[in-house]
Amino acid sequence: MSSCRKRCKREILKFAQYLFRVITGTLNPDSIEDELELSAVRHRPEALEQLEAQTRFSRKELQILYRGFKNECPSGVVNEDTFKEIYAQFFPQGDASTYAHFLFNAFDTDHNGSVSFEDFVMGLSILLRGSVQEKLNWAFNLYDINKDGYITKEEMLDIIKSIYDMMGKCTYPILKEETPRQHVEIFFQKMDKNRDGVVTIDEFIDCCQNDENIMRSMQLFENVI
């Protein structure tokens, strides 16, 4: 393997570790000042102020996030292949590629095939600090694979199966092949109020907010994000 490829692999791994710290909340706010003192990255005040207004992150937190993102992604964007490599680091016991594909599309809000720092921060702000309704809106967008405003059984099945594939040997007890479809059938019986075969965003949010079992099931999504 060439030195360039080795360096790229190290940088992807470092970014994966950094992303994991941010998502799991182990990026200690008390250490932000220390991190900033080590940072040599210059930020554009206008862009930073705009992101501060659009997200629930402070200016200092945005600087830390930008430093980690820019250091490991010098181009300023993450493509899907890199995103898949990041998730593969977290779930070596399974196959994370399909779920990473769906998640990448959820972060790639303008559908240009790459996730910019702005895309990343906007999504992360919702997932970490958004209201319940904002998080459910984001989750609906993830499940609505073709972005037509509806979730079908097949779309939900694709997402659920991709999560189980990613968890691999970590699922206990070992799942039967029909388990994901059974779960989808249960979800749809509760969500599809008018029995038209699809779930709208209103049905999705209303059902999730009023059903404790579904909210607990949705934690599977939160735990792997």
ω into 92 cis (within 30 of 0): no
Instruction: Write the pLDDT tens digit of every residue in 92-146.
Output: 888 999 999 999 999 998 889 998 888 988 998 888 888 888 889 998 999 999 9
Most confident option among 14-23, 43-52, 83-92: 83-92
Q: Is the dihedral of CA 211, 217, 222, 225 positive or negative?
A: negative
Closest CA to 144 of 179, 111, 105: 105
Instruction: Write the pLDDT tens digit of every residue in 159-195.
Output: 989 988 887 765 545 566 778 888 899 889 889 999 9
